[in-house]
Structure 1
Amino acid sequence: MARRILVVLALVAFVVSAGFAQVAEKVDTAVISKIKDEGLNRSQVMEVLSYLTDVYGPRLNASPEYKEGAEWVAKKLASWGLQNIHFEKCAPVSKGWTLKRFALNTVDPQPFPIIGYPKAWSPGVKGTVTGEAILFDAKSEAELEEFKGKLKGKFVLVSDERDVPAHFEAEGKRLTDSELLRLANAAPQAGGARRFRGMPDFSRMTPAARDSAQRAMIREFAPDADSARIARFLSQMRGGGGQNVLPRKLEMCLKEGALVVFDVGRGDGGNLIVQSATVPPPAGAVQGQRVTAYDPKVPQVVPQVTLAAEHYNRLVRMMKKDQKVKLEMILDVAWTQADSSFNVIAEIPGTDLKDEIVLLGGHFDTWHGGTGATDNSSGSAACMEAVRIIQTLGLQPRRTIRIGLWAAEEEGIIGSREYVTRHYAAREGAGGGFPMGGGAGELKKKPDFDKFSVYLNHDNGTGKIRGVYLQGNEAARPIFRAWLEPFASLGASTLTIQNTSGTDHLSFDAVGLPGFQFIQDPIEYNERTHHYTMDLYERAQADDMKQAATIMAAFAYNAAMRDGKFPRKPEAAPRPARTGTN
């Protein structure tokens, strides 16, 4: 009897061990050691980053600078031996815009230079213009009437003063052990994480429902935003009151011939966030309909400049003390012919599984205020360095490793979404105004859908990689666990079932393809660099960049060498189109 038990136990042990042998993720530790040595000791990532920021930055989408940067990237990738290097056009067709010169000063009662930055796609002015400042502080339609006939030839301030609190906590941060543990222990997000499918119809909502929907949308873009920040943003968009009077203010400024519109910037200490000019919706537009400043067909808009909070506040306080503030400004911009945006694509060809694709990437476009160092020249440089490492070591991946540097992410994750739609899949009803979603209907697959393995994205600043967001894909856990093990000593070991949003992996995840964004140390991302005018080379952390690029190289190689493609989440059934008010 005892012998029979021993035999049975031995058979069980054999079956269990054989089962584990079948499912254990294989990692070539010798190759990973070579990747680490090359990536950490002979890195070129900071030199690439310097070119992308100091020479070819910023790169506003569809601008001449974007094209020049893309051409440099293509030559650099070719010098490393990558193949099939090409540009793939995608929407939107955009007007090219370049800021040539800008200067702003007060003239009376006390001269001083003002820190500010023109908004992207803002018109310029002819020569040097001079005029008085006026505070356009209307909060309702009735109050707008009081300003009729008072805006011509004026510098118009349309925001309220903004509170600028002291910084009692350090801005530079790394994820703590407790924060990483919280991520690791997090439960799956209900319903696999909400994704908007088209722009909600605000016109059919009650005020309370509209407010709730707008707050939810903001959290999609900025999951770290607290309630107070969201409330301040909505208050500013609504003119400080319950009504959104900003579009009407802009319409009045244009109609009456205001010189320029100033609003108050987020940020402080002379470092401010600046993005696109605001275009009032056309007559008859559905509430919430998005109108873009880069659209070649957009109607004329008034010149727009964002000012540093402290200087904006000073001007407001001066005017409230009955000071007649006179300013002068130079705002010279150049326009280029409208053309399509384009993605930058290149490959390391595979061998026996060359028709299957491992893709790594990040967005290549930036805002125009700084040089896009951490958003997203850092991600572009890390991806480029990853393929350089693989090429330098002469590795022969089984699957083709492709790099994609995406256009128009800042305009709504457009470049990667169109790439996925063209090559892999789309849902019926896709293309609504909201950047995060597509359609809610049936998934229409392209022939290459089944040849795709995995997409790895880099777009959360300069911080080193601490792990991976699994995007609800539990099957990815043991794979990433094995891939991260060689990098535990470099701080990368955390896996969370949670999703993260706001960047290009969503384009793949939305159609059921494995797409992942790394967990990264925040450093100063939200506080000082993300869309800020001082997002320059100095804000990038060299050791973090080297670590991130090395891990991306290892992950891409591991994915290319697996026996099977990367596992996918169960395919979701089509959802009925939303017709309600929430």
Structure 2
Amino acid sequence: MKKVAILIIQISLLSVSFCFSQSKDPVVESIVKEATEHSQLEKLAHELLDVIGPRLVGSPQMQQAHDWAVAKYKDWNISAKNEKWGEWRGWERGVSHIEMVSPRVKSLEGMQLAWSPGTGGKAVTADVIIVPDMADSTAFQKWLPTAKGKFVMISMNQPTGRPDYNWQEFATKESFDKMKKQRDAQTEAWTNRLRKTGYTTRTLPVALENAGAAGIVMCYWSKGFGANKIFGAYTKKIPTIDISLEDYGLLYRLAESGHTPRISVRADAKETGVSGTFNTIGEIKGTEKPNEYVILSAHFDSWDGGTGATDNGTGTIVMMEAMRILKKVYPNPKRTILVGHWGSEEQGLNGSRAFVEDHPEIVQNIQAVFNQDNGTGRVINLSGQGFLNAYDYLGRWLVKVPETIKAPIELKFPSIPGGGGSDFASFVAAGAPAFSLSSLNWSYGTYTWHTNRDTYDKIVFDDVRSNAILTAILAYQASEDPVKTSREKSVLPLGAKGEPATWPEPRKPTRRGGLD
């Protein structure tokens, strides 16, 4: 079935492309011209990423971003609103100053994690120790009082700060293999060390906090690429800080060799109480079938180690730019075109799942959802998500996309529903045809995804512009298509153990989180 479907779509695109070459579409030409000659992408990215900055759910910056997006859409004569779906713990980041004061003085690169308690406007100075390798959890419990008044390091020290591609280019094969073997052994040993404490990576910081530790020091390094993953803290009274690999290694080696390092940490943070959480929804009303919908989709929130440039600032500005272009060159679509900027994707697709739950009348009449959420690269993959006839309508819509944009895209039909890590999965789980515009890697997973390096300078605007053109054309074609898309599902293959695979079940969103 899958091979036949792929063959059909390839033949269809080739044959219809020949017809298209004889007859250009003025709307498509206008989309390309507007996107190329009057792009707003750089301006949108600057205002969102540089001026507003990171968009942690529940933070004032998240609300500022929602209000900014609504104002932008209204400037473009697009109806828009912020739609509340729940509540979250309000928290605002302040400055993080981390210095080593002994055995010498050095400013360290690091920051507190999201939702970390602050230090009350003053610096906390204390010795740094490493969580020990004890025989078992009983021995660790006896050690715990030793942590009182200390900063405790709970991450492995990496054997190298060079990315793997650097080793591949310059090291001998023997040297590279030796390093990887050493790294694997250290990783296994560190995993065993933590396991023997009797705690998990989530509960260990809390145990140390309860024992009176001054703070938690960690380094979640993206293996092979030199960027620190920045997530959330589990402590409620003491700061949890993440330090760059280079400076973490320095502290670790000093502590290990007996030259006890001492650090001074000032971490400002403000609890802002219970905060409303929102989705920003924009709309270009349909003229012939206003109760059928094409939805452009991207999550709006981010982790706040960087500014969320490629996760998901790029997806956000692609959808905003596509809406701007469509309103200008295709202001009266046949079907209603919506854009959804979802809140709290990072905590479990909460915003999009809430929208699906709150708007069954929209979900049952969706023509297509196009979601973008995996970095700055040009789109190179489009999967049918298990919808049996997706090759038919996606094939029709792709035909009018310029060849330079269309050629690199690999089509997989019918494929199986997957990629539950982004918002299109909320719609697929409800039976609506929703698709991920999956992008070229650009080291997304190891360099910018959830790291402190996810900033404006990592955006490749030529690729983002290509994606805005693709999205606008797909939305235009989906709106114009005289046929309502089929929701017939393919028969899923058996799982790895021979059991029948199943379609994802809709889950209820977490409407109130991070408030305990």
TM-score, normalisation: structure 2: 0.82
Identity of aligned residues (%): 28
Which deviates the most, 114-123 or 152-161?
152-161
Paired with 1:343 and 1:107, the residues of 2 have a C-alpha distance of 45
Letter in 1 for 2:140: L
Contact 1:512 1:571 in 2 (8 A): no
Partner of 1:276: 232
Give the equivalent residue in structure 2 for 1:89: 84
> 1:416 aligns to what SS in structure 2?
helix
Distance 1:302 1:513, change over 3 A: same
Superposed displacement of residue 385, structure 1: 0.1
- Residue 233 of structure 1 deviates from its aligned partner by 8.3
Q: 1:333 aligns with which of 262, 266, 269?
A: 269
CA shift, 1:561, in A, is 0.9
Q: Shift of residue 363 of structure 1?
A: 0.3
Structure 1 residues 115 and 360: alpha-carbon distance in aligned structure 2, compared to 1, 3 A threshold: same
Cα separation, partners in 2 of 1:515 and 1:118, compared to 1, 3 Å: same
Do structure 1's residue 419 and structure 2's residue 355 form an aligned pair?
yes
Q: Following the alignment from structure 1 to structure 2, what is the Cα–Cα distance between the partners of residues 571 and 269?
A: 39
Q: Kindly state the Cα deviation for residue 137 of structure 1 after the two structures are TM-superposed.
A: 2.4
Q: Which amino acid aligns with 1:461?
A: G
Q: Aligned pair 1:487/2:402, yes or no?
A: yes
Give 1:122 deviation, angstroms.
0.6
Instruction: Find the residue that maps to 2:143 and give its secondary structure.
Output: coil
Residue 511 of structure 2: aligned partner: none
What letter is aligned with 2:42? Answer: M
**What amino acid sits opposite 1:103 in the alignment?**
H
Say if 2:193 is the partner of 1:257.
no
Q: Does the aligned pair in 1 maintain the 2:67–2:82 contact within 8 Å? A: no
Shift of residue 319, structure 1, vs aligned partner: 1.3
Question: 2:117 maps to which residue?
Answer: 123
The Cα offsets for residues 22-42 of structure 1, whole Å up to 9 and x where unpaired, read as x98998733212211211232
Maintained 8 Å contact 1:484/1:492: no
Conserved? CA contact 1:363–1:406, under 8 Å: yes
Q: How does 1:176-325 map to 2 (within 5 A)?
A: 239-241=193-195, 244-247=199-202, 249-267=204-222, 271-278=227-234, 300-325=236-261
Q: 1:357, 1:454 within 8 Å by CA — same for their partners in 2?
A: yes
Give the equivalent residue in structure 2 for 1:541: 460
Which of 128, 137, 150 pairs up with 1:133? 128
- Tell me the SS of whatever aligns to 1:563: coil
Give SS of 1:367's match: coil
Query: Number of matched residues?
Result: 457
> Residue 169 of structure 1 aligns to a residue in which SS?
helix
User: Aligned-pair distance for 1:330?
Assistant: 0.6
Structure 1 residues 148 and 229: alpha-carbon distance in aligned structure 2, compared to 1, 3 A threshold: closer
Shift of 1:550: 0.8
Are the equivalent residues in 2 in contact too, given 1:59–1:69 (CA < 8 A)?
yes
Q: Residues 143 and 484 (structure 1 numbering): CA distance in 2 closer, same or farther, change over 3 Å? A: farther
2:153 aligned partner: 157
1:464 is the counterpart of 2:420: no
Aligned-partner Cα distance in 1 for 2:332–2:206: 59
1:38 to 9, 30, 34: 34
| Structure 1: unaligned runs, 5 residues or longer | 1-19, 172-227, 280-299, 425-446, 578-582
State the Cα RMSD in Å: 3.0
Mark the CA change 1:394 to 1:234 in structure 2 (over 3 Å): closer, same or farther.
farther
Q: Secondary structure at the match of 2:487?
A: coil
Q: SS at 1:43's partner residue?
A: coil
1:508, 1:264 → 2: CA distance? 36
Q: Distance in 2 between matches of 1:530 and 1:128?
A: 31
Distance 1:473 1:450 in 2: 15
C-alpha separation between the residues in 1 aligned to 2:461 and 2:450?
Answer: 20
2:326 is the alignment partner of 1:390:
yes
Measured after TM superposition, the shift of residue 376 of structure 1 is 0.4
Please state whether the residue corresponding to 1:150 is helix, strand or coil. helix
Q: In the aligned structure 2, how far is the partner of 1:570 from the partner of 1:545?
A: 31
Residue type at the aligned position of 1:541: V
Whole-Å separation in 1 of the counterparts to 2:33 and 2:357: 38
- Tell me the SS of whatever aligns to 1:94: strand
* SS in structure 2 of the partner of residue 461 of structure 1: coil
Provide the C-alpha distance between the structure 2 equivalents of 1:136 and 1:65, rounded to a whole number of angstroms: 35
| Structure 2 residue identity aligned to 1:89 | K
> Residue 379 of structure 1 is aligned with which of 299, 315, 329?
315
Please report how far the alpha carbon of residue 277 of structure 1 lies from its aligned counterpart in structure 2 after TM superposition. Answer: 0.9
Cα distance in 2 between the residues matched to 1:231 and 1:29: 60
Distance 1:496 1:170 in 2: 34
* SS of residue in 1 equivalent to 2:391: helix
Shift of 1:500: 3.0
Contact map agreement 2:388 2:489 (CA 8 A) in 1: no
Name the counterpart of 1:532.
451
Change (3 A) 1:462 1:236: farther
Partner of 1:187: none
Structure 1 pair 555–259 and aligned structure 2 pair: CA distance change class (3 A):
same
Q: Quick check: 563-572 or 63-72, which moved more?
A: 563-572
Give the drift of 1:571. 8.8
**Partner secondary structure for residue 404 of structure 1:** strand
SS of residue paired to 1:261: strand
1:332–1:269: structure 2 CA closer, same or farther, 3 Å change rule? Answer: farther
Indicate the larger mover: 143-152 or 34-43: 143-152
> TM-score, normalised to structure 1's length?
0.73
Q: Name the CA distance, whole Å, in 2 between partners of 1:236 and 1:244.
A: 13
Point out the more displaced range, 377-386 or 335-344: 335-344
Q: CA–CA distance in 1 between the matches of 2:130 and 2:504? A: 47
- Which one of 277, 289, 311 corresponds to residue 353 of structure 1? 289
Deviates more, 1:256-265 or 1:62-71: 256-265
Superposed displacement of residue 44, structure 1: 1.0
Shift of 1:234: 9.1
Q: Contact 2:389–2:486 at 8 Å: present in 1 too?
A: yes
Task: Measure, in 1, the Cα distance between the counterparts of 2:374 and 2:309.
Answer: 11
Tell me which amino acid in the other structure corresponds to 1:522.
Answer: N
